[in-house]
Structure formats: structure tokens, C-alpha cells
Amino acid sequence: MNWPRTLNGFRFALAALGVVCAACSDQSPALPDQPVEGLQPNILLLMAEDLGPRIGALGDSTARTPRLDQFASEGTRFTEAFATSGVCAPSRAAIITGIHQNHWGAGHMRAAGGGYVPAPAPEVKAFPEILRASGYQTFNDGKTDYQLGLRLGGAFGGPTSPWDDTQARGWADRDPKRPFFAFVNLGQTHESQIWPTWQLPNSLVTWALWPLRILNHWSWPHRTFANEVIVPPYYPDTRTVRDDIARHYNNIASLDVAVGELLDQLQEDGLADNTIVIFTADHGDGFPRAKRWLYDSGLHVPLIVRWPGVTPPGTTSDQLISLIDLAPTILSMANIQPPSWMEGHIFIGPDQDLDGRPYVYAARDRIDEQPDTVRAVRDNRFKYIRHYHPERPYVLPSDFRDHMPLMRELIEQNESGQLKGPTTLWFRQHRDHEELFDTLRDPHEISNLADDPIQATQLRKMRRALDDWLEENPDLGFLPEQTLRDRFFPNRKQPITTAPHIRFLGEHATIETGTAGASIEFRLNGGPWQLYSGPLTIAPNSHIEARARRYGWAESEITKALN
């Protein structure tokens, strides 16, 4: 297999990032031997970073995305898909579990920065682990960042039980007797890639990201120029702003090439007809007032699905979708019944929830070093945002974000009094307690209608929708973060999973651990780690090793035994 050259380059850069940052820094059914013919397709999830719906096929005339446009013509475009957070770690925590991040303590960016790792309820498993327990070979390519690990500030690491390979090259090492699920992360559009190549890094992290940016910018297949872009009304129309927006479009062109190479690889491997491909992003654009925020610019994501034989080519759906819907939908695609604790809806396929969802919800809590509490609800037209700290300014210092030339331009123009009109709104020293936007008439969310008497009924409706949601599920983001740390890391120490116990009865072996909800992996005679799901048949004189880990806890010691 000739693995796509673009993706290999990004894997190399991510590995370099890992080296630099490291310096600073209930059991499932037995696994079948092979899938039931026709019932378990391969599934490929392509997830861009920091990308709104800036795709030609989704209506962006500036974007140069021929491969994504072609891909969209072969499947269904979902125009109203939204993340649960405007920043990666909380959003990914919701994606991987199918549960809103604030309902299990994963709302802060990143939890590891607060000195803990959140632990969901014992029965909760990441959807790739459920796939793996049902016979799928599961691959993760790139970052994890699901709020379940401590390595590299939480961006990598975490439990290994969801994955056969945690740093895979897509599906390159697949077992042809098993269906695969591959989660490929695409970093070309990450916020850090908007910075210019010549800009010198100011920290170890930004130094680590510099090679990736050079590689990315060197390989731009198309050039969008500053005079071609549209500047949203909340930014001043300056050359610096235009340059950063143009750079983002050039990165999108690189992303398009990477996606095309992956799709070509599927075709070359003879897998395209039996592989469902999903393209989306972890949250919206990486620009200021988008990333980290609950405006549509930070939450609205592209979502395109090609499911051979199911999605009619070239179709469009405007149903409201939250990214927590990915987990149950992907399980349904694999003919696996989603567990009852998942909060998402199945949005496509034979098991689609035809009633859909009336609302999507989002949250903003601590962002890096800045504590905050903001909640939002959106229907197909209106967005309601509630600020629990209206006494604070909108713009709070953020070392990573403030490295972007566009952000520095905003700060400098604000300090010199040059900002005018809508560009001043985000720089107010106090927030509106409530914000209500008509996203149909006001897609940039500039005109707050919360005090408009004409919208009083709509305001009450959206308030009630948010209140009902907050009452239905405990929102751990309202707890002081010290309380969360004490809850998940008693005495400031990560709980350790109990080591597994291996029992033999003739040629059969069972493995147990005293930690409720822990996942168990085993391997025989030094072979690959496998997910344990029931009694094993072990040949005489075989060496067996077992390890266990509950999500949010430290991994157990490895137990070794000889049959």
C-alpha cells in the first residue's frame, strides 16, 4: 500500500510535536472471527481541526475544494451540524462518548491543566471501543484529546482499550477478515497553521508547531489572495486580517488534497464500495471570536457522509445535528445498538431518528488559564447565549490565541481607538447577560435581540429550552474546578485501576479486575494487545499478560501468567 504522502508528512510533524512537548511536560460480547457479510461495513471518520463550513459544496465560493466537492456530490451534505464546544478537547470528549462533555466533567479546556482527568460513569465506553468489542479493528491516526489522558497536557494518551492501534497510518495495517473503523485527524486547518511561516515561535509548543506550518504552507496546491476573501463585520478590513483569512483558505486547499489522497487510497485498496466515509471537523474556525466561543463561527462545522447504497448522491439535509450524534450514528452504521446512556440521535440510515432534534446545546468553561461559564442553545434559526459572568469582558488574555497576527491587530486597534461599529462589540468590558440572535437574518450574530420586545416570546422559549436541558442533566461545569479535581483525583492523586486477576480452568482462562467499569486487554506470547470480552481458550504453556484501565484512572500493573 502506498500511503498518502501528505498524510505521512503531517504524521512526521506530529511526531516531532510529541517529542518537543514531552520534554516539557461492563464487558462486551465475544469478538467474532470475521464480520457478517454485508452487515458491518468499514467506517472512515475524517476529522479536520478548526474548520467551519468553508467548503465549496457547502456554499463557500472562495474555497478551492475540488475533492471535497466531488465527495459531497457522491453523498449527503448536512448543512446544520454543530459542535458542543468551540474548542477541541471538550468537543472531542463529547464526540468520543456521545455524551455532552459537561455531563461527565470534561467541559474545561483541558482538564489536565486543572490537575485531573474526568472519569465518566463506569458503564460509559468510547464508541470505538464498542466497535472493537463487536469485531471491528479500530485505528486512531493523530491526536486523541478526549479529556481521558495526561500526556502532553492531555492532547495525547488516555486509555488504549478503544484502539487496536493508537497511532495508525489510517487502515494500512488492517486485517482483511475484520471490518475496520479508522479515525483520521487532519491538522492542516488548525489555528496554528494560520500564523505566517516567517513568524518566530514564542514558546516550546509554538516551536513544535513551526515545522508542521512550514510543511503545510510549502505544499499549498492553490493560492487564495487577500483581495479575494470576505471579511466578517466583526473584524476591521485590514491587510493583516485579510492575509490571515487568505492563509486559512490556502490551508483548506491543502486539506482538500489530503482528503483526496485518502479517498484515492480507499479506491486503490478496493474498499470504497464497502466503506462509509464521514467528513467533519471538531469545531468551527480557528479565528478569534470563533474558536473558544459559542457563536456559530466557533460551532458550525461541515458534515458530509458517503454511505454506498444508502445516501443518495448529491443530496442535502438541513436537519439539526450535534456532534454527539456521531457516536450512536456510527454504531448504528455498524449494526450495533447504541447504549441507552448515549445522548445523541441517529441522524442517517435505516435506524434514523425521524423526529430529529429541536435544539443543539453548547458550553464554554475554563479556556486555558481563563475561567468562564457560558451556555448556549440553538434551534434551526435562533441562538440563545447565557453568560454567567457578565461582569467580565469578552476578550480575556490567551497566550496561544494572541500569537495570531489577526488577534494582535484587533488588540492594537482597540487600544488605539480605531475599532468602529460591530468591530467594537467583542471588546466591551462587560458582557450582555443574555444574547439572542436570528441566525437567518444575522448570520454573523451581531445584533443582540434579547431586549427587543418583538422577540420576547422567542426569548422566553429559548430560555426555557436551556433551563430544561440544565435541569435534565447535572452540569458539572458549574462546580468549582477544585471540587472536580478533588472528585476525580482524591488527595490530588489519580486513582489506579486494580490489576487484573487471571484464573485458569484447564485450557480456559478468565480475567477479572476489582475496578468497576474497567476495560481489560490481554496478549498471548508477546503478541498484540486484544480487548478481553469473555473466557479464552489458551493453549498449554502459553504466556498471557493482562492490563486494565477505567477511563480517567491510571492503568493497572500488568499481570503475567503461564498456563
- Which residues are marked as active site? 88
Residue 193 DSSP class: G
Distances (CA, A) of 5 to 12, 31, 165, 256, 505: 11, 34, 20, 13, 50
CA–CA distance, 400 with 553 (Å, rounded to integer):
29
Taking the CA atoms of the chain, what radius of gyration do you get in angstroms?
23
Q: Give 352's contacts (C-beta < 8 A, 6+ positions apart).
A: 346
238 Rama sector, left if φ>0, alpha if ψ -120 to 50, beta otherwise: beta
| Chain centroid to CA 293 | 15
Written as one letter, the residue type at 60 is D
CA–CA distance, 176 with 187 (Å, rounded to integer):
28
Q: Give 107's contacts (C-beta < 8 A, 6+ positions apart).
A: 85, 90, 101, 363, 365, 475, 476, 477
Q: How many other CB atoms sit within 10 Å of the CB of residue 277? A: 24
Written as one letter, the residue type at 30 is A
CB 300 within 8 A of CB 280: no
If DSSP codes are grouped into helix, strand and coil, which group holds residue 350? Answer: coil
394 Rama sector, left if φ>0, alpha if ψ -120 to 50, beta otherwise: alpha
End-to-end CA distance of the chain: 38
Q: How many other CB atoms sit within 10 Å of the CB of residue 422? A: 15
What cell was used for 493? 492523586
| Chain centroid to CA 322 | 12
CB 520 within 8 A of CB 548: yes
What cell was used for 86? 468551540
What cell was used for 511? 480475567
If DSSP codes are grouped into helix, strand and coil, which group holds residue 454? Answer: helix
What is the length of the chain? Answer: 563
Residue 415 DSSP class: H
CA–CA distance, 104 with 496 (Å, rounded to integer):
19
Q: Give 559's contacts (C-beta < 8 A, 6+ positions apart).
A: 499, 500, 501, 502, 545, 546, 547
Residue 370 DSSP class: B
CA–CA distance, 483 with 479 (Å, rounded to integer):
6
Kindly state the helix (H) or strand (E) to which residue 21 belongs, with its residue range: helix 5-23
User: For residues 432-461, b (16+ Cβ closer than 10 Å) or e, as one string?
Assistant: bebbbbbbeeeebbeebbbeeeebeebbee
What's the CA dihedral at 193, 197, 202, 206 to 10 degrees? 40
